[in-house]
Structure 1
Amino acid sequence: MTHPSQRASTAASDDALFGPEVADYARYRPGLPDGAVHLLASTQHGVPAPVLLDLGTGTGQVPRALRPVLHRLVHIDLVDVNASMLQTARTVLEPVRGACTVDAFTGAAHTFAPAVPGRAPTLITCCRSFHWMARPEVLSMADRVAAPHAVVVAVMGDGSLWTHQADWTTALRALIQNHLGEDRRAGTRGTYAEPGRSYQDDLAGSAFSEVTEHHFPVTRTWAPEDVIGYLRTTSFARPALFADRHHAFEAAALRLLQDHADGGVLTEDAVFTVLLARRPGGAS
Protein backbone atom coordinates (compact mmCIF):
# COMPACT_ATOMS: atom_id res chain seq x y z
CA MET A 1 0.00 0.00 0.00
CA THR A 2 1.23 3.48 -0.83
CA HIS A 3 0.02 6.07 1.63
CA PRO A 4 -0.63 9.79 1.00
CA SER A 5 2.18 12.20 1.63
CA GLN A 6 2.66 13.17 5.28
CA ARG A 7 3.46 16.89 5.26
CA ALA A 8 5.88 18.15 7.88
CA SER A 9 4.48 20.95 9.99
CA THR A 10 7.70 22.97 9.80
CA ALA A 11 8.32 22.80 6.06
CA ALA A 12 5.94 23.19 3.16
CA SER A 13 6.66 21.52 -0.14
CA ASP A 14 9.45 23.27 -2.03
CA ASP A 15 8.61 22.76 -5.70
CA ALA A 16 10.36 25.96 -6.74
CA LEU A 17 13.74 24.27 -7.22
CA PHE A 18 12.99 21.16 -9.29
CA GLY A 19 9.21 20.97 -9.49
CA PRO A 20 9.01 21.85 -13.22
CA GLU A 21 11.88 19.49 -14.08
CA VAL A 22 10.67 16.30 -12.37
CA ALA A 23 10.21 14.38 -15.64
CA ASP A 24 13.72 15.33 -16.79
CA TYR A 25 15.09 14.38 -13.37
CA ALA A 26 13.58 10.90 -13.62
CA ARG A 27 14.83 10.45 -17.19
CA TYR A 28 18.33 11.91 -17.16
CA ARG A 29 19.79 11.53 -13.66
CA PRO A 30 22.24 8.59 -13.50
CA GLY A 31 21.24 5.68 -11.32
CA LEU A 32 23.26 3.73 -8.74
CA PRO A 33 26.03 1.30 -9.75
CA ASP A 34 25.07 -2.34 -9.26
CA GLY A 35 27.94 -2.81 -6.82
CA ALA A 36 26.62 -0.06 -4.58
CA VAL A 37 23.11 -1.53 -4.64
CA HIS A 38 24.39 -4.95 -3.61
CA LEU A 39 26.52 -3.39 -0.87
CA LEU A 40 23.44 -1.70 0.58
CA ALA A 41 21.48 -4.93 0.41
CA SER A 42 24.30 -6.82 2.15
CA THR A 43 24.02 -4.56 5.20
CA GLN A 44 20.61 -6.11 5.89
CA HIS A 45 21.77 -9.72 6.08
CA GLY A 46 20.24 -11.24 9.18
CA VAL A 47 17.61 -8.51 9.51
CA PRO A 48 14.28 -10.37 9.36
CA ALA A 49 12.11 -7.46 8.24
CA PRO A 50 14.21 -4.63 6.77
CA VAL A 51 12.77 -1.10 6.71
CA LEU A 52 14.29 1.57 4.45
CA LEU A 53 14.28 5.31 5.16
CA ASP A 54 15.44 7.21 2.04
CA LEU A 55 16.22 10.87 2.72
CA GLY A 56 16.17 13.34 -0.16
CA THR A 57 14.68 10.56 -2.25
CA GLY A 58 14.05 12.67 -5.35
CA THR A 59 12.40 10.41 -7.90
CA GLY A 60 13.06 7.29 -5.84
CA GLN A 61 16.25 5.97 -7.45
CA VAL A 62 17.56 4.29 -4.29
CA PRO A 63 14.45 2.33 -3.28
CA ARG A 64 13.65 1.41 -6.87
CA ALA A 65 17.15 -0.05 -7.32
CA LEU A 66 17.20 -1.73 -3.90
CA ARG A 67 13.74 -3.32 -3.83
CA PRO A 68 14.37 -6.02 -6.49
CA VAL A 69 17.62 -7.00 -4.75
CA LEU A 70 16.44 -6.79 -1.13
CA HIS A 71 13.31 -8.93 -1.49
CA ARG A 72 12.64 -9.01 2.27
CA LEU A 73 12.13 -5.26 2.45
CA VAL A 74 8.79 -4.73 4.22
CA HIS A 75 8.45 -0.94 4.33
CA ILE A 76 9.91 2.18 2.71
CA ASP A 77 9.74 5.75 3.98
CA LEU A 78 10.38 8.37 1.29
CA VAL A 79 11.41 11.86 2.43
CA ASP A 80 11.81 14.96 0.25
CA VAL A 81 10.95 18.66 0.39
CA ASN A 82 9.48 18.41 -3.10
CA ALA A 83 5.96 16.95 -3.35
CA SER A 84 6.24 16.50 -7.12
CA MET A 85 9.36 14.39 -6.68
CA LEU A 86 7.62 12.25 -4.08
CA GLN A 87 4.66 11.65 -6.36
CA THR A 88 7.03 10.45 -9.08
CA ALA A 89 8.91 8.26 -6.59
CA ARG A 90 5.67 6.58 -5.53
CA THR A 91 4.78 5.98 -9.17
CA VAL A 92 8.10 4.42 -10.16
CA LEU A 93 8.07 2.17 -7.09
CA GLU A 94 4.65 0.73 -7.85
CA PRO A 95 5.83 -1.94 -10.35
CA VAL A 96 8.50 -3.31 -7.99
CA ARG A 97 7.17 -2.79 -4.47
CA GLY A 98 5.13 -6.01 -4.24
CA ALA A 99 3.84 -6.40 -0.67
CA CYS A 100 6.22 -3.71 0.62
CA THR A 101 4.37 -0.70 2.02
CA VAL A 102 5.40 2.88 1.24
CA ASP A 103 4.92 6.16 3.12
CA ALA A 104 5.92 9.57 1.80
CA PHE A 105 6.88 12.52 4.00
CA THR A 106 7.04 16.00 2.50
CA GLY A 107 9.45 18.16 4.47
CA ALA A 108 13.03 18.73 5.55
CA ALA A 109 14.85 15.49 6.37
CA HIS A 110 15.63 16.42 9.97
CA THR A 111 11.90 16.90 10.70
CA PHE A 112 10.96 13.36 9.67
CA ALA A 113 8.91 11.21 12.03
CA PRO A 114 7.49 7.78 11.11
CA ALA A 115 3.80 7.82 10.23
CA VAL A 116 3.22 4.46 11.95
CA PRO A 117 4.85 3.41 15.25
CA GLY A 118 6.87 0.22 15.09
CA ARG A 119 8.38 0.83 11.65
CA ALA A 120 11.85 1.83 12.77
CA PRO A 121 14.29 1.94 9.84
CA THR A 122 17.09 -0.61 9.69
CA LEU A 123 18.73 1.13 6.72
CA ILE A 124 18.85 4.90 6.20
CA THR A 125 20.08 6.17 2.84
CA CYS A 126 20.92 9.59 1.47
CA CYS A 127 22.06 9.76 -2.15
CA ARG A 128 23.45 12.95 -3.74
CA SER A 129 21.47 15.11 -1.32
CA PHE A 130 23.28 15.25 2.04
CA HIS A 131 24.83 18.63 1.13
CA TRP A 132 21.34 20.17 0.99
CA MET A 133 20.51 19.13 4.55
CA ALA A 134 21.08 20.28 8.11
CA ARG A 135 23.49 17.39 8.55
CA PRO A 136 23.99 17.19 12.35
CA GLU A 137 20.24 17.55 12.86
CA VAL A 138 19.57 14.84 10.27
CA LEU A 139 21.93 12.44 12.02
CA SER A 140 20.32 13.21 15.39
CA MET A 141 16.92 12.46 13.86
CA ALA A 142 18.31 9.20 12.47
CA ASP A 143 19.47 8.17 15.92
CA ARG A 144 16.02 8.90 17.36
CA VAL A 145 13.97 6.97 14.80
CA ALA A 146 16.30 4.11 13.86
CA ALA A 147 16.02 0.56 15.10
CA PRO A 148 18.41 -0.24 17.96
CA HIS A 149 20.31 -2.95 16.07
CA ALA A 150 21.56 -3.60 12.53
CA VAL A 151 21.09 0.01 11.48
CA VAL A 152 23.28 1.49 8.76
CA VAL A 153 23.34 5.08 7.58
CA ALA A 154 24.57 5.24 3.97
CA VAL A 155 25.64 8.60 2.52
CA MET A 156 26.34 8.31 -1.19
CA GLY A 157 27.34 10.41 -4.16
CA ASP A 158 29.58 10.90 -7.16
CA GLY A 159 29.81 14.63 -7.76
CA SER A 160 28.25 16.13 -10.88
CA LEU A 161 29.17 17.24 -14.37
CA TRP A 162 30.17 20.57 -12.80
CA THR A 163 32.92 18.89 -10.76
CA HIS A 164 33.95 16.28 -13.34
CA GLN A 165 37.28 17.05 -14.99
CA ALA A 166 37.27 16.45 -18.75
CA ASP A 167 37.73 18.69 -21.77
CA TRP A 168 34.02 18.71 -22.53
CA THR A 169 32.88 19.36 -18.97
CA THR A 170 35.46 22.15 -18.57
CA ALA A 171 34.16 23.84 -21.72
CA LEU A 172 30.56 23.34 -20.63
CA ARG A 173 31.26 24.81 -17.18
CA ALA A 174 32.87 27.86 -18.81
CA LEU A 175 29.78 28.36 -20.98
CA ILE A 176 27.52 28.22 -17.91
CA GLN A 177 29.76 30.71 -16.12
CA ASN A 178 29.66 33.01 -19.13
CA HIS A 179 25.88 33.16 -18.76
CA LEU A 180 25.49 33.08 -14.97
CA GLY A 181 28.77 34.32 -13.50
CA GLU A 182 31.84 32.61 -12.08
CA ASP A 183 30.23 31.30 -8.88
CA ARG A 184 28.38 28.01 -9.03
CA ARG A 185 24.68 28.64 -8.53
CA ALA A 186 22.73 26.60 -5.99
CA GLY A 187 19.25 26.52 -4.52
CA THR A 188 16.66 29.03 -5.64
CA ARG A 189 18.71 32.15 -5.00
CA GLY A 190 22.24 31.60 -3.75
CA THR A 191 25.58 30.13 -4.74
CA TYR A 192 27.18 26.87 -3.71
CA ALA A 193 29.50 26.74 -0.70
CA GLU A 194 31.63 23.72 0.12
CA PRO A 195 30.63 21.99 3.38
CA GLY A 196 32.57 23.23 6.39
CA ARG A 197 33.69 19.68 7.18
CA SER A 198 33.65 16.33 5.45
CA TYR A 199 30.77 13.90 5.51
CA GLN A 200 33.12 11.44 7.20
CA ASP A 201 33.59 13.91 10.04
CA ASP A 202 29.83 14.53 10.23
CA LEU A 203 29.24 10.80 10.63
CA ALA A 204 32.15 10.27 13.03
CA GLY A 205 30.70 12.97 15.30
CA SER A 206 27.26 11.34 15.34
CA ALA A 207 25.81 8.27 17.01
CA PHE A 208 26.80 6.38 13.84
CA SER A 209 30.53 6.84 14.32
CA GLU A 210 31.88 3.58 12.88
CA VAL A 211 32.42 4.58 9.24
CA THR A 212 33.68 2.58 6.28
CA GLU A 213 34.23 4.00 2.81
CA HIS A 214 33.53 2.14 -0.43
CA HIS A 215 34.34 3.24 -4.00
CA PHE A 216 32.73 2.11 -7.24
CA PRO A 217 34.34 3.38 -10.46
CA VAL A 218 31.77 3.92 -13.20
CA THR A 219 32.08 4.98 -16.83
CA ARG A 220 29.05 6.70 -18.30
CA THR A 221 28.43 7.64 -21.90
CA TRP A 222 26.23 10.59 -22.71
CA ALA A 223 24.59 11.75 -25.90
CA PRO A 224 24.79 15.56 -26.19
CA GLU A 225 20.99 15.80 -26.00
CA ASP A 226 20.98 13.80 -22.76
CA VAL A 227 23.47 16.19 -21.17
CA ILE A 228 21.11 19.04 -22.02
CA GLY A 229 18.30 17.17 -20.27
CA TYR A 230 20.53 16.49 -17.27
CA LEU A 231 21.47 20.17 -16.97
CA ARG A 232 17.80 21.08 -16.55
CA THR A 233 17.78 19.00 -13.36
CA THR A 234 20.78 20.67 -11.73
CA SER A 235 20.82 23.55 -9.29
CA PHE A 236 23.67 25.17 -11.26
CA ALA A 237 22.03 25.19 -14.73
CA ARG A 238 18.28 24.80 -14.28
CA PRO A 239 16.12 26.77 -16.73
CA ALA A 240 14.83 29.39 -14.29
CA LEU A 241 18.36 30.71 -13.72
CA PHE A 242 18.61 31.82 -17.36
CA ALA A 243 15.12 33.35 -17.64
CA ASP A 244 14.53 34.38 -21.26
CA ARG A 245 18.12 33.43 -22.22
CA HIS A 246 17.62 29.72 -21.56
CA HIS A 247 16.78 28.77 -25.16
CA ALA A 248 19.93 30.53 -26.40
CA PHE A 249 22.02 28.84 -23.70
CA GLU A 250 20.75 25.36 -24.59
CA ALA A 251 21.39 25.94 -28.29
CA ALA A 252 24.97 27.04 -27.55
CA ALA A 253 25.50 24.16 -25.12
CA LEU A 254 24.27 21.61 -27.63
CA ARG A 255 26.66 22.91 -30.30
CA LEU A 256 29.54 22.79 -27.82
CA LEU A 257 28.73 19.23 -26.76
CA GLN A 258 28.34 18.03 -30.34
CA ASP A 259 31.74 19.52 -31.17
CA HIS A 260 33.34 17.62 -28.26
CA ALA A 261 31.53 14.32 -28.80
CA ASP A 262 33.56 11.42 -30.19
CA GLY A 263 31.31 9.50 -32.54
CA GLY A 264 28.32 11.25 -30.98
CA VAL A 265 29.31 10.15 -27.46
CA LEU A 266 30.67 12.03 -24.43
CA THR A 267 32.43 9.96 -21.75
CA GLU A 268 32.36 10.55 -18.00
CA ASP A 269 34.64 8.53 -15.71
CA ALA A 270 33.27 8.91 -12.20
CA VAL A 271 33.66 7.29 -8.79
CA PHE A 272 30.51 6.55 -6.81
CA THR A 273 31.35 6.68 -3.09
CA VAL A 274 29.33 5.04 -0.35
CA LEU A 275 29.94 5.88 3.31
CA LEU A 276 28.46 3.23 5.59
CA ALA A 277 28.08 4.33 9.20
CA ARG A 278 27.01 2.21 12.17
CA ARG A 279 26.57 2.72 15.87
CA PRO A 280 29.63 1.45 17.78
CA GLY A 281 29.25 -2.25 18.46
CA GLY A 282 26.46 -2.62 15.90
CA ALA A 283 26.14 -5.44 13.42
CA SER A 284 28.82 -5.44 10.71
Structure 2
Amino acid sequence: MRDRTLRQVFAVREYRAVWLADLLSVAGDQLARVALAVLVYGRTGSAAWAAATYALTFLPAIVGGVLLGGLADRFPRREVLAVTDAARAVLVGVMAVPGLPLPALCGLLVVVVLLGAPHTAARGALLPELLPGDLYERGLAVSQITGQTAQVVGFAAGGLLVAAVSPSSALALNAVTFLAAGLLFRFGLARRPRADTTTRTGARDLLAGVVDIAGDPRRRALVVLVWMVGLYVVPEALAAPYADQIDAGPAVVGLLMAADPLGSVLGAWLFVRFV
Protein backbone atom coordinates (compact mmCIF):
# COMPACT_ATOMS: atom_id res chain seq x y z
CA MET A 1 0.00 0.00 0.00
CA ARG A 2 2.82 2.39 0.93
CA ASP A 3 4.71 1.71 -2.32
CA ARG A 4 1.56 2.22 -4.37
CA THR A 5 0.99 5.62 -2.71
CA LEU A 6 4.55 6.67 -3.50
CA ARG A 7 4.03 5.73 -7.14
CA GLN A 8 0.89 7.87 -7.14
CA VAL A 9 2.98 10.82 -5.97
CA PHE A 10 5.31 10.50 -8.95
CA ALA A 11 2.34 10.07 -11.27
CA VAL A 12 1.63 13.79 -10.79
CA ARG A 13 3.56 15.46 -13.63
CA GLU A 14 3.94 18.84 -11.94
CA TYR A 15 5.23 17.24 -8.75
CA ARG A 16 7.89 15.43 -10.78
CA ALA A 17 9.07 18.80 -12.12
CA VAL A 18 9.21 20.30 -8.61
CA TRP A 19 10.96 17.21 -7.23
CA LEU A 20 13.64 17.19 -9.94
CA ALA A 21 14.20 20.95 -9.66
CA ASP A 22 14.64 20.58 -5.91
CA LEU A 23 17.18 17.80 -6.35
CA LEU A 24 19.21 19.89 -8.77
CA SER A 25 19.25 23.01 -6.62
CA VAL A 26 19.95 21.11 -3.37
CA ALA A 27 22.85 19.18 -4.89
CA GLY A 28 24.20 22.38 -6.44
CA ASP A 29 23.97 24.18 -3.10
CA GLN A 30 26.11 21.56 -1.42
CA LEU A 31 28.70 21.86 -4.20
CA ALA A 32 28.80 25.58 -3.49
CA ARG A 33 29.11 25.12 0.28
CA VAL A 34 32.13 22.86 -0.12
CA ALA A 35 33.64 25.29 -2.63
CA LEU A 36 33.09 28.29 -0.35
CA ALA A 37 34.53 26.50 2.69
CA VAL A 38 37.68 25.52 0.78
CA LEU A 39 37.96 28.88 -1.01
CA VAL A 40 37.58 31.07 2.08
CA TYR A 41 39.82 28.94 4.27
CA GLY A 42 42.40 28.73 1.51
CA ARG A 43 42.51 32.51 1.17
CA THR A 44 42.42 33.45 4.85
CA GLY A 45 43.75 30.42 6.72
CA SER A 46 41.20 31.31 9.38
CA ALA A 47 38.72 28.83 10.83
CA ALA A 48 36.63 31.76 12.06
CA TRP A 49 36.31 33.21 8.56
CA ALA A 50 35.46 29.80 7.10
CA ALA A 51 32.79 29.20 9.76
CA ALA A 52 31.35 32.73 9.39
CA THR A 53 31.07 32.36 5.63
CA TYR A 54 29.38 28.99 6.06
CA ALA A 55 26.95 30.60 8.50
CA LEU A 56 26.02 33.11 5.79
CA THR A 57 24.52 30.22 3.81
CA PHE A 58 21.89 29.89 6.58
CA LEU A 59 21.52 33.02 8.74
CA PRO A 60 20.11 35.49 6.17
CA ALA A 61 17.17 33.12 5.65
CA ILE A 62 15.92 34.12 9.13
CA VAL A 63 15.50 37.73 8.02
CA GLY A 64 14.48 36.80 4.49
CA GLY A 65 11.60 34.67 5.68
CA VAL A 66 10.08 37.65 7.50
CA LEU A 67 10.81 40.33 4.90
CA LEU A 68 10.47 38.48 1.59
CA GLY A 69 8.28 35.44 2.26
CA GLY A 70 5.16 37.45 1.41
CA LEU A 71 6.25 37.75 -2.22
CA ALA A 72 5.01 34.19 -2.71
CA ASP A 73 1.45 35.51 -2.27
CA ARG A 74 1.84 38.75 -4.22
CA PHE A 75 2.90 37.09 -7.47
CA PRO A 76 2.01 33.82 -9.24
CA ARG A 77 3.98 31.06 -7.58
CA ARG A 78 5.38 29.59 -10.79
CA GLU A 79 6.90 32.96 -11.63
CA VAL A 80 8.31 33.37 -8.12
CA LEU A 81 10.00 29.97 -8.32
CA ALA A 82 11.42 30.51 -11.81
CA VAL A 83 12.58 34.10 -11.28
CA THR A 84 14.27 33.49 -7.93
CA ASP A 85 16.19 30.53 -9.35
CA ALA A 86 17.21 32.53 -12.43
CA ALA A 87 18.39 35.40 -10.24
CA ARG A 88 20.37 33.04 -8.03
CA ALA A 89 21.95 31.48 -11.12
CA VAL A 90 23.23 34.91 -12.19
CA LEU A 91 24.52 35.82 -8.72
CA VAL A 92 26.30 32.51 -8.18
CA GLY A 93 27.75 32.84 -11.66
CA VAL A 94 29.32 36.12 -10.57
CA MET A 95 30.59 34.47 -7.39
CA ALA A 96 32.37 31.92 -9.58
CA VAL A 97 34.60 34.63 -11.11
CA PRO A 98 38.17 33.80 -9.99
CA GLY A 99 39.76 36.38 -7.71
CA LEU A 100 36.50 38.03 -6.65
CA PRO A 101 37.18 39.98 -3.41
CA LEU A 102 36.01 38.20 -0.27
CA PRO A 103 33.63 40.99 0.88
CA ALA A 104 31.92 40.95 -2.54
CA LEU A 105 31.69 37.16 -2.38
CA CYS A 106 30.02 37.33 1.04
CA GLY A 107 27.65 40.09 -0.07
CA LEU A 108 26.49 38.10 -3.09
CA LEU A 109 26.07 35.03 -0.88
CA VAL A 110 23.74 36.96 1.45
CA VAL A 111 21.54 38.01 -1.48
CA VAL A 112 21.45 34.44 -2.82
CA VAL A 113 20.27 33.12 0.55
CA LEU A 114 17.71 35.93 0.92
CA LEU A 115 16.17 34.97 -2.43
CA GLY A 116 15.62 31.49 -1.05
CA ALA A 117 12.91 32.82 1.30
CA PRO A 118 10.21 33.63 -1.29
CA HIS A 119 11.26 30.54 -3.24
CA THR A 120 10.71 28.26 -0.23
CA ALA A 121 7.42 29.98 0.64
CA ALA A 122 6.09 29.61 -2.92
CA ARG A 123 7.12 25.96 -3.10
CA GLY A 124 5.57 25.17 0.28
CA ALA A 125 2.29 26.80 -0.71
CA LEU A 126 2.22 25.07 -4.10
CA LEU A 127 2.75 21.48 -2.93
CA PRO A 128 -0.70 21.06 -1.28
CA GLU A 129 -2.27 22.15 -4.57
CA LEU A 130 -0.29 19.55 -6.51
CA LEU A 131 -0.75 16.73 -3.98
CA PRO A 132 -4.21 16.75 -2.39
CA GLY A 133 -5.14 14.67 0.64
CA ASP A 134 -2.82 11.87 1.76
CA LEU A 135 -0.55 12.40 -1.24
CA TYR A 136 0.74 15.59 0.35
CA GLU A 137 2.14 13.74 3.37
CA ARG A 138 3.80 11.15 1.13
CA GLY A 139 5.16 13.87 -1.10
CA LEU A 140 6.78 15.57 1.88
CA ALA A 141 8.36 12.28 2.97
CA VAL A 142 9.73 11.65 -0.52
CA SER A 143 11.09 15.20 -0.77
CA GLN A 144 12.73 14.92 2.66
CA ILE A 145 14.50 11.64 1.97
CA THR A 146 15.59 12.42 -1.58
CA GLY A 147 16.57 15.97 -0.62
CA GLN A 148 18.88 14.68 2.12
CA THR A 149 20.27 12.13 -0.33
CA ALA A 150 20.99 14.95 -2.78
CA GLN A 151 22.86 16.74 0.02
CA VAL A 152 25.04 13.70 0.61
CA VAL A 153 25.81 13.34 -3.10
CA GLY A 154 26.35 17.08 -3.51
CA PHE A 155 28.79 17.30 -0.61
CA ALA A 156 30.75 14.22 -1.68
CA ALA A 157 30.82 15.23 -5.35
CA GLY A 158 31.66 18.80 -4.38
CA GLY A 159 34.73 17.70 -2.48
CA LEU A 160 35.91 15.59 -5.42
CA LEU A 161 35.20 18.39 -7.91
CA VAL A 162 37.02 21.01 -5.85
CA ALA A 163 39.96 18.62 -5.45
CA ALA A 164 40.04 17.83 -9.18
CA VAL A 165 39.40 21.31 -10.59
CA SER A 166 38.80 24.41 -8.45
CA PRO A 167 36.25 26.05 -6.11
CA SER A 168 35.26 28.41 -8.93
CA SER A 169 34.26 25.45 -11.11
CA ALA A 170 32.02 24.08 -8.35
CA LEU A 171 30.35 27.49 -7.98
CA ALA A 172 29.83 27.67 -11.74
CA LEU A 173 28.17 24.25 -11.67
CA ASN A 174 25.89 25.49 -8.87
CA ALA A 175 24.85 28.37 -11.15
CA VAL A 176 23.98 25.84 -13.86
CA THR A 177 21.83 23.80 -11.45
CA PHE A 178 19.92 26.93 -10.44
CA LEU A 179 19.31 27.76 -14.10
CA ALA A 180 18.12 24.23 -14.86
CA ALA A 181 15.80 24.28 -11.84
CA GLY A 182 14.35 27.62 -12.95
CA LEU A 183 13.61 26.23 -16.40
CA LEU A 184 11.91 23.18 -14.88
CA PHE A 185 9.66 25.43 -12.79
CA ARG A 186 8.88 27.70 -15.74
CA PHE A 187 8.00 24.99 -18.23
CA GLY A 188 7.02 22.12 -15.92
CA LEU A 189 4.31 23.94 -13.95
CA ALA A 190 0.99 25.29 -15.14
CA ARG A 191 0.41 28.99 -14.63
CA ARG A 192 -1.86 29.76 -11.71
CA PRO A 193 -3.22 33.13 -10.59
CA ARG A 194 -1.60 34.73 -7.60
CA ALA A 195 -2.99 33.91 -4.18
CA ASP A 196 -5.67 36.01 -2.49
CA THR A 197 -3.81 38.80 -0.70
CA THR A 198 -6.79 40.32 1.09
CA THR A 199 -5.49 38.80 4.35
CA ARG A 200 -1.90 39.92 3.87
CA THR A 201 0.06 39.82 7.10
CA GLY A 202 1.44 43.11 8.35
CA ALA A 203 4.06 43.99 10.94
CA ARG A 204 1.42 44.29 13.66
CA ASP A 205 0.04 40.82 12.89
CA LEU A 206 3.56 39.42 12.86
CA LEU A 207 4.31 40.92 16.27
CA ALA A 208 1.00 39.56 17.63
CA GLY A 209 1.98 36.10 16.39
CA VAL A 210 5.36 36.29 18.12
CA VAL A 211 3.70 37.37 21.38
CA ASP A 212 1.16 34.55 21.04
CA ILE A 213 3.90 31.93 20.58
CA ALA A 214 6.01 33.35 23.42
CA GLY A 215 3.04 33.11 25.78
CA ASP A 216 2.37 29.43 25.03
CA PRO A 217 4.89 27.09 26.78
CA ARG A 218 4.34 24.27 24.27
CA ARG A 219 4.88 26.45 21.20
CA ARG A 220 7.80 28.19 22.89
CA ALA A 221 9.44 24.82 23.55
CA LEU A 222 9.02 23.82 19.89
CA VAL A 223 10.63 27.07 18.73
CA VAL A 224 13.61 26.54 21.05
CA LEU A 225 14.03 22.98 19.78
CA VAL A 226 14.01 24.23 16.19
CA TRP A 227 16.65 26.84 17.03
CA MET A 228 18.84 24.12 18.54
CA VAL A 229 18.90 22.36 15.15
CA GLY A 230 21.32 25.08 14.09
CA LEU A 231 23.97 23.53 16.32
CA TYR A 232 24.16 20.55 13.97
CA VAL A 233 25.82 22.59 11.23
CA VAL A 234 28.83 23.49 13.42
CA PRO A 235 30.86 20.42 12.32
CA GLU A 236 30.12 21.24 8.68
CA ALA A 237 31.32 24.81 9.18
CA LEU A 238 34.62 23.52 10.60
CA ALA A 239 35.15 20.79 8.00
CA ALA A 240 37.72 22.73 5.94
CA PRO A 241 39.95 23.76 8.88
CA TYR A 242 39.74 20.28 10.37
CA ALA A 243 40.64 18.60 7.08
CA ASP A 244 43.66 20.91 6.81
CA GLN A 245 44.68 20.08 10.37
CA ILE A 246 44.78 16.34 9.59
CA ASP A 247 46.57 17.02 6.26
CA ALA A 248 43.59 15.97 4.13
CA GLY A 249 42.37 17.57 0.92
CA PRO A 250 39.09 19.05 -0.36
CA ALA A 251 37.67 15.58 -1.07
CA VAL A 252 37.72 14.86 2.68
CA VAL A 253 36.04 18.23 3.32
CA GLY A 254 33.12 17.04 1.20
CA LEU A 255 32.95 13.69 2.98
CA LEU A 256 32.95 15.34 6.41
CA MET A 257 30.12 17.64 5.34
CA ALA A 258 28.20 14.68 3.90
CA ALA A 259 28.17 12.82 7.22
CA ASP A 260 25.37 14.94 8.72
CA PRO A 261 22.83 14.60 5.87
CA LEU A 262 23.74 10.91 5.54
CA GLY A 263 22.63 10.42 9.14
CA SER A 264 19.42 12.32 8.34
CA VAL A 265 18.72 10.05 5.38
CA LEU A 266 19.15 6.92 7.48
CA GLY A 267 17.08 8.36 10.32
CA ALA A 268 14.25 9.41 8.00
CA TRP A 269 14.20 5.99 6.33
CA LEU A 270 14.10 4.21 9.69
CA PHE A 271 11.30 6.48 10.89
CA VAL A 272 9.18 5.94 7.77
CA ARG A 273 9.90 2.21 7.74
CA PHE A 274 9.25 1.38 11.39
CA VAL A 275 7.25 4.28 12.87
> Same fold per TM (> 0.5)?
no
Higher-helix-fraction structure: 2
Which protein has greater RCO, CA pairs closer than 8 Å, 6+ apart? 2
User: Under TM normalisation by the shorter chain, which class is it?
Assistant: under 0.3
Higher-strand-fraction structure: 1
With normalisation by structure 2, the TM-score equals: 0.23
